[in-house]
Structure 1
Amino acid sequence: MAGHSKFKNIMHRKGAQDKKRSSMFSKLSREITVAAKMGLPDPDMNPRLRAAVLAAKAQSMPKDNIQRAIDKASGGDTENYEELRYEGFGPAGVAIIVEALTDNRNRTATNMRTIFSKNGGNLGASGSVSHGFERLGLIEYPASAGDPDKVLEAALEAGAEDIESDDDGHRIWTSVDELHTVAKALEGMLGEAEATKLAWKPGLEVEVRGDEAQSLLKLLDALDDDDDVQTVWGNESIPDEELEKFG
């Protein structure tokens, strides 16, 4: 199945992001607060909040920080964040979807245009890219959760739609509506997941090499670094040997 190189690409970017833990914790806290504000402040009763808390735990965010972010949702002085999606193209024609949480849409829109244009990309209109992706639920487990056959059997029993396994771990895909039902079933069989979230899965991937790969990674890193950006999805596939060149 497709996805191995794609997962490597994400891990390459995640490695860079791990060096900026304060920025990462800020983004995780924002998502937790927004999720708690939109529903109940109990992760067991609020699927989006549960996913946000799991994501924070996966990044070793302290429990006190997580609880403060939840408590902040009930305060009267919390910022009102707006969820926005931007779509555009990077080097080699790679399609990119950016999801943001912002308290100033003008600032964020300006930042997105600047980042795309400075890094060999073009910001497109709404819908210009997303038609090439499918909105799905994604559950991630480390390779230590079990061998591919064991995880595949558990995923099918839980009601998952597809699974990708390699040396880096297991990605289990579900419909959006079934994400948290499947995640709870898998937790009983495989333990707590590393991540449970909504994702954009590309229908077709674009292989990128050489200078275009380097330029694309700079663009993706710049997007990840923006304070308002929560997640970045693309349809790039950069071979492992190319990633190794860029550290």
Structure 2
Amino acid sequence: MMLAVEDLAAGYGQSRVLSGIGFSIGAGEVVTLLGRNGMGKTTTVRAIMGLLPAAGGTLLGGRIGFGGAELAGQPPHRIARYGIGLVPEGRQVFPTLTVEENLMATARGAARWTLPAVYALFPRLRERRGNMGAQLSGGEQQMLAIGRALMTNPRLLILDEATEGLAPLIRAEIWAVLARLRADGLSILLIDKNLAAVMRLADRHVVIEKGRVAWTGSTEALAAAPELRETYLHL
């Protein structure tokens, strides 16, 4: 397994958010974290990436294995170097850097993802390469956030709310890009509320309810369980 999360526990202050989260991702596999708001999906991502202290949280226990390395307790910059690229919730592009400067800020290694490769994936970024991050639309910022993560040449790409708040045409473009990345063999951990879209893209799904794994299984199994979708995923 590329990523193996076991018995993960985390919280904020006196509040425990995660209690025994466990799941895995294989090489070339697309896995989703599903669940209603506030169930612990973003906290799980923060724990994997070593970002809990910066967010005011604490990793309370568990194991996070990635390609033979133990990530729990390591700082975010070191975790990124193991080969995990993050597209965070809210995009978080550098507002006073140009598109090209944003991309080059995370460039690592002369491998698959270079400036020409990212511009080929997102032609709009090439057109806007001299614009500041703050001058981009929300959709363009999301393209930039994905391109910036790819410039680290990750083995695993994590996207937290991949298409939230985007116009339908931009959402469709993002889903098409993720399908291309999957076809390239990139492992992906995905959070998104568009259930129909993630079921078309992903191999397996992990449903989180109140900080615990309530269900895990294939797209086929999820499609065959309307009562599960109604219980855990519908508002």
TM-score by shorter chain over 0.5: no
What TM-score bracket applies, with the shorter chain setting the length?
Answer: under 0.3
Q: Give 1 or 2: higher strand fraction.
A: 2
Q: Give 1 or 2: higher helix fraction.
A: 1
TM-score normalised by the chain length of structure 2: 0.27
TM-score normalised by the chain length of structure 1: 0.26
